[in-house]
Amino acid sequence: MVGSTSAIGALFVLFMGDRSAAWTKVLLPFTTANFIYVASVGLMPELQRERGMGPSIMQAGFLVLGCLLMLVVSNFVSD
C-alpha cells in the first residue's frame, strides 16, 4: 500500500512539473520519505537475518548512498 502511494506521488510530481512548483516542493519530500521507508522496511529483516558483518555493512552503506544520492539530486532540481 505504501509503495503504491509513493509511486502515485512521484508520478503526480513528474506530471505537474513546472506548472506547480509549490506542489512539487511539498510533495517531493513526502514521496522521498515513502521510498526510504519502504526500502528500510524491506532491508531491516534482511539485516537481522545476516550473520556476517560484511553483507550487513554493505547493505547499510547502499541505503546511506541512496539517501545521499536523493539529497544531491534534490539540490540540482531545486536550483
Would you kindly state where each structural domain of the chain is located, as residue ranges? Answer: 2-78
Confidence band of 18 (pLDDT split at 50, 70, 90): low
- Measure CA 56 to chain center: 19
pLDDT of 69 > 80? The answer is yes
| CA distance linking residue 32 with residue 79, whole number of Å | 18
Confidence band of 1 (pLDDT split at 50, 70, 90): low
34 in Cβ contact with 5 (< 8 Å): yes
pLDDT of 53 > 60? The answer is yes
Q: Which residue type occupies 59? A: Q
